[in-house]
Structure 1
Amino acid sequence: KRVEYFKMMVPNRAGQGARALDVLHKAGVNLIAFSGFPQGGGAQMDFIPAKPAAFRKVAKKAKWKIGRSKRAFLVSGDDRVGAGAKLLGKLAERRINVIAIDAVCSGKGRYGALLWVSPTQYARAARALGAR
């Protein structure tokens, strides 16, 4: 599935993620995914909202500096041995470089993965993955 994500840089201090997620919770914004990690001297938070327009509205009201949305993929399926290898193999066959991937098992026989490719390879990756 094609998804939009927004990144926000924050100080790398305790509570930054909790505060941001609380703002979204109180506004009723549902996230498909959230990721946070150290970046430079601070931290980067990536938000993948179910409804990007609702996220933008809340971010603007909260005066967050989020910039333009970017694109990624959300992949899900039945959890089985080799699921990740098959997924990445589809892209490797077409010489599409994966910039980053985060994958998890739900514990209920399903897996999910977020993956990022270069904007110049996004359309090709979408075709390779059968993403809508």
Structure 2
Amino acid sequence: MASRIRRVDYFYTTVRDEPGEAYRLLSTLADLGINMMAFSAVPVGPMHTQLTIFPDDTGRLQRIAREAQLRLDGPHPALLVQGDDRLGALAEVHAKLYEAGVNVYASSGVADGRGSFGYVIYVRPEEYERAAEALGV
């Protein structure tokens, strides 16, 4: 598999920075049958953490979150790159965005240790369509 790039949605919630907060959210989502493509936790100030989830089915998450009274902010657009882990793979993606004049304001990625990688790209809402077009999605 070369690289596959697709449009994705993400949702986030901000919690107190305490042990078990990510576990509570992730176990609740699993119990509700929500499958995720990605997840991140990032500190926001000294006492809070932003938990970000990328569901594989946005509509399903929205319905279930509403029923379960989960407070999630979103959906927000992002781009998900998945592919074969090879030298220069991310540079090629960034080159296309640079050539289109798109600024990547945040990103996060990981190699799985078996030859594949996943990479989430955040661009400003006003640049999202241009970024998607530059990446062919």
- TM-score bracket for the superposition, by shorter chain length: over 0.9
Q: Residue 8 of structure 2 corresponds to which residue in structure 1?
A: 3
Note the alpha carbon deviations across 1:30-84, whole angstroms, 9 max, x for none.
0011111111231101110011122122322332221331000001122111111
Asked if residue 108 in structure 1 is aligned to residue 110 in structure 2, the reply is no
Q: How many residues align?
A: 131
Instruction: Give distance in 1, aligned partners of 2:15 and 2:129.
Output: 31
Q: CA deviation at 1:108?
A: 2.0
User: Where has structure 1 moved over 4 Å in runs of 4 or more?
Assistant: none
Unmatched segments (≥5 aa) in structure 1: none
Instruction: Give distance in 2, aligned partners of 1:77 and 1:119.
Output: 25
The correspondence for 1:117, drawn from 109, 112, 123, is: 123
Q: Residue 46 of structure 1 corresponds to which residue in structure 2?
A: 52
Note the alpha carbon deviations across 1:97-123, whole angstroms, 9 max, x for none.
001111111222211100100000000
Q: Residue 76 of structure 1 corresponds to which residue in structure 2?
A: 82
Instruction: Give distance in 2, aligned partners of 1:4 and 1:130.
Output: 17
Asked if residue 32 in structure 1 is aligned to residue 37 in structure 2, the reply is yes
Name the SS for the 1:100 alignment partner.
strand
Instruction: Give distance in 1, aligned partners of 2:12 and 2:127.
Output: 20
Unmatched segments (≥5 aa) in structure 2: 1-5
TM-score, L = length of structure 2: 0.90
Q: Residue 3 of structure 2 corresponds to which residue in structure 1?
A: none
Paired amino acid for 1:87 = V
Aligned-residue sequence identity (percent) comes to: 37
